[in-house]
Amino acid sequence: MESHRFWGPLAMAAVGMLWGAACRGRTTDEPPDSGEDVAVPSVTTTDATSDRTVSDESPDVDESSAEVRTTESAAPDQAILVGPTDAAAGGSAADDAAPEGTREASSVLVRPDGLVYIKPSNTKPGPTSNYSSSFDFSDALALQGDTLVVGAPQESSNASGINGDQSDDSVPSAGAVYVFTRSGSTWSQQAYIKPSNGGSPMNFGWSVALDGETLVVGAREEASASTGVNGNQNDTSVSGDGAVYVFTRSGTTWSQQAYLKPAHTAPNQWCGFAVAVSGDTLAFSCPQDLPTAPDAANEVGSVYILTRTSGVWTQQAYLAPNAYGLGASLALQGDLLAAGVPYQLSPADGSSRTQGGIVEVFSRSGTTWTQEALLSANLGPVGDRGPPSFDDKFGTSLALSNGTLAVTAPEEAYPVDGSPNGWGGATYVFTRSGTAWSGQARLTALDAQLEPAATGGGFANAIALDGDRLVVGAPRACPCVSTDLNELVSGQAALFTRGGTAWSWQSDSVLPHAPPGSYGFAVAVSGPTIAVGNPGDSSDAVGIDGDDTDTSSPGSGAVYVLP
C-alpha cells in the first residue's frame, strides 16, 4: 500500500500492517525493515487504532493434511469467534479429489447463533487476482455500543461527502468508511463516508476511532499543502503528508465537522497513520514527521493533540520526544494517551537498550501534557520469552480501558518444539495505580491454545480492550494443530477475560480453508459485542448476511460480528 520509505518508522507502517501484506497482499509501497521488504496493515479498537505489522511472503500451501478445529467441545459459556470454513472439516470429497494446487477456495460459514456477516454496499474485488492489492474492507475497525465503523482504505470511488455515488471506480486507493448500526439484533448500513476532498488516492479509512457521536478518520496519503484546521484542500503538492477528518452524527445523519492537518507539511509524514478520540479530545500521529525540536532533529515521529470547544477544534499539544516512529499506534482515554514506537530500541533496565519497541504514556494536567511512563516488554512478565530482539515490535497495537493498557509484540519469540526462539507473538497487559504502571500479564499463542509455529508470528497483531474483556487477533494463524508452517494461513481471534488480576482464555475460532487468510487482522470490542475483520474475504456478497460461498471478489473484505 505504501512505498518503501526508510525502514524505521514505517517499516512501522508495517507496523500496523505487518501482516497485511503477506496475508491479504499489501503491495508495493510498504516500508522496508532492515533491508527486508515489508508490508503495512491497521487496526483499531474502541480506544485506539493500531497499525500494521510486517511479514514474509505467504507460504506455499499444502492442504492435504490440514486439520480443522471445531466448536463442538467449547463450553456453553464460551464465545466462539469463527471465520469462514468448509462445511465439513477437511472439505468435500470433490475438494479432496482435486489436483494439488487447483482446489477451489470454499468459504461456507459455520455460524454460531447471532453471528453476523457484514459486507460493504459496493463490494468489489481487489484490482488483481493475486491479491497484490485489495478493497481492504475491515482494514480498520471501531465499535461502540450499537455502532460499528469499518475502514476500507483501498476503496476506489470518486465520490465525496456522505452517501455519494459509489459506482465510479476511477480513483484507486481513495478509501472509504462505512458506518453500520444495530437495532435490536439487526444490523444495517447507516452511512457511506468519503472525505470532502475526495477524488484522489489518500487511503482514507486507514485508521478510524469512534466515541459517542464523533468519528475520526485518518488518510495517511492525503496530499494537500494546508496546515492546521480547515485549511485549503485544493493544493495537492505534498504527497503523503496525510490528513485527519472529523465527522459527527445528529440522529442518523453524519456530516464532516473538521479537516485537520499538521502544523508543518512534508512529503510522506503519513499524518493520520493512527488516530484516537475521547470526548472532546483527539490525537493523531505523523510517524514519519521530522520534529523541529533541537534534541529530536535526527529522530522521526510526532503526535498532535487537539481539543474541541463548541464544535471548533484547536491544537493543544505537539508531542515529539526522541522516539523513532512515534505513533505507530495510539490509545486515548480521558487525560491519558499511549503512543506505540515498535521500532525504537527500548531500555531493558533504565540504561541499556536491548529490547525492540517501547510505548510512551503521556498524561494531562489542565492543558499540559507530560510523559508519565515509558513501557517496554522488559517491564512486564518475562515468562518463556526468548532473547530480546529488535524484531519483537512491542507497541504495534494498543488498547486502553480504565487504567489498563494492552500492548502487542506480534513478532516476539518463545520456545516452540524445542527451539528457544520460535515465532509466536505476545500481548502485554499493564495497569496503573496513581501514576505508576506495572506489568500484570503476558499472553501468548500458547495461552490461546494456538501452536506458536502455526501463527508464523503475529499473534496479537491487533487487539481491543473493554474493561475485563480483551480480544486478540492473529491473522496469520493456520487452521490446524500443527507446526507445519506450510499449512494454510487463514487467521484467528481469541477472547481473554480478567478475574481479579488473572487473565484467562475464553474462546478461539474455527478457521477457513481459503486463502488469503487475514481473519483477525483488525478487532474491536464493546461490552459483549465483538467485531473481527477479515480484509482477505473473497465473497461477492453485499450488505448483511449475504452469500459467502461466491469467491469471485478476492480481497473485498468482510466483518464478523458476534453479540
pLDDT in tens, 242-277: 999 999 999 999 999 999 999 998 888 999 999 999
Instruction: Give pLDDT, residue 290.
Output: 73
Q: What HEC string does 181-203 produce?
A: EEECCEEEEEEEECCCCCCCCCC
The residues near 76 (Cβ < 8 Å, ≥ 6 apart) are none
Residue 213 pLDDT > 70: yes
Lowest mean pLDDT among 22-26, 350-354, 424-428, 495-499: 22-26
Residue with the bigger pLDDT between 381 and 486: it is 381
Instruction: Give pLDDT, residue 489.
Output: 53
Lowest mean pLDDT among 100-109, 432-441, 469-478: 100-109
Average the pLDDT over 17-28 and give the result. 33
Residue with the bigger pLDDT between 550 and 172: it is 172
8 Å CB contact between 388 and 348: yes
Average the pLDDT over 538-557 and give the result. 85
Separation between Cα atoms, residue 207 and residue 176, nearest integer Å: 11
Residue 425 pLDDT > 80: yes
Lowest mean pLDDT among 163-177, 247-261, 308-322: 163-177
Residue 493 pLDDT > 90: no
Instruction: Give pLDDT, residue 522.
Output: 93
Average the pLDDT over 216-236 and give the result. 93
Percent of the chain with pLDDT over 90: 44
Confidence class for position 223, pLDDT limits 50, 70, 90: very high
Instruction: Give pLDDT, residue 169.
Output: 81
Query: Hey, which of 152-161, 306-315, 435-444, 482-491 has the most confident mean pLDDT?
Result: 306-315
Residue 527 pLDDT > 90: yes
pLDDT in tens, 199-210: 778 999 999 999
Residue 284 pLDDT > 90: yes
Query: Hey, which of 14-18, 68-72, 306-310, 483-487 has the most confident mean pLDDT?
Result: 306-310
Instruction: Give pLDDT, residue 403.
Output: 97
63: number of Cβ within 10 Å: 20
8 Å CB contact between 513 and 66: yes
Instruction: Give pLDDT, residue 345.
Output: 59
8 Å CB contact between 84 and 429: no
The sign of the dihedral angle between the CA atoms of 455, 392, 23, 506 is positive
What backbone torsions phi and psi does residue 378 show, to the nearest 5 degrees? -65, -20
Average the pLDDT over 441-456 and give the result. 70
Residue 15 DSSP label: H
Confidence class for position 384, pLDDT limits 50, 70, 90: low
Residue with the bigger pLDDT between 115 and 401: it is 401
Instruction: Give pLDDT, residue 319.
Output: 94
Mean pLDDT for the chain? 74
* Residue indicated by cell numbers 480501558: 401
Instruction: Give pLDDT, residue 5.
Output: 25
Q: Check whether the bond before 516 is cis (ω within 30° of 0).
A: yes
- By residue count, the chain amounts to 563
Instruction: Give pLDDT, residue 17.
Output: 36
Domains of the chain by residue range: 7-69+125-562
Average the pLDDT over 14-28 and give the result. 33
With CA atoms as reference, report the closest residue to 160 among 152, 148, 168: 168
Residue with the bigger pLDDT between 289 and 279: it is 279
Confidence class for position 554, pLDDT limits 50, 70, 90: confident
Separation between Cα atoms, residue 537 and residue 108, nearest integer Å: 12
Residue 198 pLDDT > 90: no
Report the amino acid identity of residue 13: A
The sign of the dihedral angle between the CA atoms of 200, 203, 207, 210 is positive
- Apex CA 464: angle with CA 116 and CA 480, to 5°? 65
Residue 408 pLDDT > 50: yes
CATH superfamily of 7-69+125-562: Integrin alpha, N-terminal (2.130.10.130)
Instruction: Give pLDDT, residue 506.
Output: 86
Q: Across-strand partners of 497?
A: 469, 504
Lowest mean pLDDT among 32-36, 98-102, 550-554: 98-102
Confidence class for position 77, pLDDT limits 50, 70, 90: very low
Instruction: Give pLDDT, residue 337.
Output: 98
8 Å CB contact between 437 and 400: no
Residue 87 pLDDT > 50: no
Confidence class for position 465, pLDDT limits 50, 70, 90: very high
- Apex CA 465: angle with CA 112 and CA 45, to 5°? 85
Kindly list the distances between the CA atom of residue 435 and the CA atoms of 240, 320, 360, in Å, as whole numbers in the listed order: 37, 21, 13
Kindly list the distances between the CA atom of residue 29 and the CA atoms of 1, 14, 38, 525, in Å, as whole numbers in the listed order: 5, 10, 9, 30
Instruction: Give pLDDT, residue 507.
Output: 65
Kindly list the distances between the CA atom of residue 326 and the CA atoms of 187, 300, 322, 418, 520, in Å, as whole numbers in the listed order: 36, 7, 8, 36, 24
The residues near 417 (Cβ < 8 Å, ≥ 6 apart) are 453, 483
Separation between Cα atoms, residue 331 and residue 345, nearest integer Å: 21
Residue with the bigger pLDDT between 320 and 68: it is 320
Confidence class for position 484, pLDDT limits 50, 70, 90: very low
